[in-house]
Amino acid sequence: MLRIIESLGDLKGKRVLVRSDFNVPLKEGVITDDGRIRAALPTLTKLIEAGAKVIIMAHLGRPKGEVKPEFSLAPVATRLGELVDVPVSLAKDITGESARELAAALNEGEILLLENVRFDPRETSKVDAEREEMAAELAELADAFVSDGFGVVHRKQASVYDVAKKLPSASGLLVLKEIESLRKATDNPERPYAVVLGGSKVSDKLGVIANLLSKADILLIGGGMAFTFLKAQGYEVGKSLLEEDQVETVKGYIAEAAEKGVDLVLPVDVVVAPEFAKDATPTVVAADAIPADQMGLDIGPESQALYAAKIAGSKTVAWNGPMGVFEFENFANGTKAVAAALSEGECFSVVGGGDSAAAVRLLGFDEATFSHISTGGGASLELLEGKTLPGIAVLEG
């Protein structure tokens, strides 16, 4: 069982260190999607209303242990202040003089955001002692720790894992909701249980497929990874994305699915184009008739109808990865069809984070029509794979 905020006792006047996921997209210093900041609000509001002094840790981008101004959390501090309507100050460092002084001066119901934790190389160090040293410095700032950055719980990092061992710790509302929803879709799903997998590479999802062949009733494959499956069936895939070194592995999966009675569904038609471009001319061809000079960029209309029907007949559906190049309008229909089937269906639907969640927003779907949209692509994928997540294991018991 995950420890919850209530297990920390009375938080009035206490300094609570919160790990959030504020890795938001920026364009010329402006936040283009504040979804991750909004996702943190229920936990922050709960702590503020409890009279806590809130100190937030988060990362942005991949500064690789160096202080890089373009990865400063300043835009996040500004946007968070607008959303919570309480004072939000930004430290100039993570565990240095600025962080210590501002943490000591915090009043009840106020928020301090520490600067990007990944400016410190110890945060992501593979050396336990280095991470623990940073975690000890972070722990000195607070009386308790709340883990609420689901997008990083699969990482053994100082602000996620090590600090949880140095302070009374609990899961935040977002992490709790994520784990409950994903476990409902993976541990004991209402059947039929379908999993829709897309994205570019089979190699990214090998562990997931291996795990799901003993759990799922239906496995729907789309995206760039589908072409390695089609190649494994002996089809020509033209200039489509192909992982030649995975063909034999995929042949094994196809055989195992047949042996275990898993309904492994592959595209029956494909939208192809001569090049990877927004304005490339789309043509629909049968999956076994892809021209040598064309590349597949989406599943075709027959496949879209087939996948939608499979989803409609399922009680639980987990979706991770787009069906095509959804950023290009000509090749977005496959992803749109899957999203629509989930949105309109009566199944318990979980959308993995990353590109799947981005597609739902970009294509204009009402997020409330899905049972759960994850904020963590990698973390949700590892849960589908059956892995233990370090940042979750440390909060259990």
Strand partners, 298: 271
pLDDT for the residue numbered 336: 98
Classify residue 372: in a domain, yes or no. yes
Indicate the helix (H) or strand (E) that contains 103.
Answer: helix 97-105
Using alpha carbons, select from 389, 397, 6 the residue that is nearest to residue 179.
389
Parent domain of 338: 180-385
Q: pLDDT of the chain along its 397 residues, tens only?
A: 999 999 999 999 999 999 999 999 999 999 988 989 999 999 999 999 999 999 999 999 999 999 999 999 999 999 999 999 899 999 999 999 999 999 999 999 999 999 999 999 999 999 999 999 999 999 999 999 999 999 999 999 999 999 999 999 999 999 999 999 998 988 889 999 999 999 998 898 989 999 999 999 999 999 999 999 999 999 999 999 999 999 999 999 999 999 999 999 999 999 999 999 999 999 999 999 999 999 999 999 999 999 999 999 999 999 999 999 999 999 999 999 999 999 999 999 999 878 898 899 889 999 999 999 998 888 988 988 889 999 999 999 7
> On the CB side of 180, how many CA atoms lie within 13 Å of its CA?
13
**Cis peptide, bond prior to residue 322, ω within 30 of zero:** no
pTM comes to 0.89
Total structural domains within the chain:
2
377 plus 275 within the same structural domain: yes
In whole angstroms, what is the distance from residue 40 CA to residue 18 CA? 10
- The 10 Å Cβ neighbour count of residue 17 is 28
| Pair 156, 51 in one domain | yes
Residues 163 and 197 in one domain: no
Confirm whether residue 60 is marked as ligand binding: yes
Output b/e per residue, 28-64; b: 16+ Cβ within 10 A: eeebeebbbbebbbebbebbbebebbbbbbbbbeebe
Contacts of 214 (CB under 8 A, 6+ apart): 260
Residue 22 annotated as lining a ligand binding site:
yes
- Whether 234 is covered by a domain: the verdict is yes
pLDDT at 386: 87
Count Cβ atoms within 10 A of the Cβ of residue 96 and give its class: 0-12 exposed, 13-18 middle, 19 or more buried: middle
The pLDDT value given to residue 196: 97
Cα separations (Å) of 291 from 236, 267, 329? 7, 16, 22
Q: Are residues 217 and 165 in the same domain?
A: no
Q: Check which CATH number belongs to the domain holding 77 and give it.
A: 3.40.50.1260
Shared-domain flag, residues 216 and 194: yes
**Residue 183 labeled ligand binder:** no
Residues 166 and 187 in one domain: no
If DSSP codes are grouped into helix, strand and coil, which group holds residue 163? Answer: helix
- 372 a known binding residue? no
Active site residues: 36, 201, 354, 378
300 belongs to an annotated ligand binding site: no
| DSSP, residue by residue, 186-207 | HTSPPSSEEEEE-SS-SGGGHH
Radius of gyration of the chain (CA): 23
pLDDT recorded at residue 71: 97
Per-residue model confidence (pLDDT) at position 384: 86
Residue 56 is predicted with a pLDDT of 98
Residue 351, phi then psi, degrees to nearest 5: -105, 120
Backbone angles phi, psi at 29, to 5 degrees: 80, 0
155 and 279 belong to one structural domain: no
Same domain, 210 and 163: no
Same domain? For 159 and 307 the reply is: no
> What is the per-residue pLDDT for 186?
86
CA dihedral sign of residues 272, 273, 275, 280: negative
Domain boundary among 172, 189, 211: 172
Q: Is 376 annotated as a binding residue?
A: no
Question: Residue 377: its pLDDT value, please?
Answer: 83
Helix axes 377-384, 173-186, angle to 10 degrees: 30
Among 144, 172, 200, give the residue marking a domain's end.
172
Please tell me whether 205 is known to bind a ligand.
Answer: yes
Closest by CA to 320, choosing from 191, 176, 211, 192, is 211
203 annotated among ligand-binding-site residues = no
| Residue 62 annotated as binding site | yes
Residue at a domain's end among 154, 172, 190 = 172
Max Cα-Cα span within the chain: 68
Structure tokens, 13: 């006047």
Residue 229 lies in a domain: yes
Q: CB-based contacts of 279: which residues, under 8 Å, 6+ apart? A: 330
What pairs with residue 296 in β-bridges? 272
Give me 171's structure tokens.
């899961």
Q: What pLDDT score was predicted for residue 225? A: 96
Task: Give pLDDT, residue 194.
Answer: 97
- 224 and 357 assigned to the same domain: yes
Query: Contact 153/389 with Cβ under 8 angstroms?
Result: yes
Q: How far is Cα 128 from Cα 122, in angstroms, rounded to an integer?
A: 9
Report how far apart the first and last C-alpha atoms of the chain are (Å, whole number).
Answer: 6
For residue 192, whether the previous peptide bond is cis, meaning omega lies within 30 degrees of 0, is yes
**Claim to verify: residue 153 and residue 189 sit in the same structural domain:** no
Count the residues in the chain.
Answer: 397
Domain shared by 273 and 310, yes or no: yes
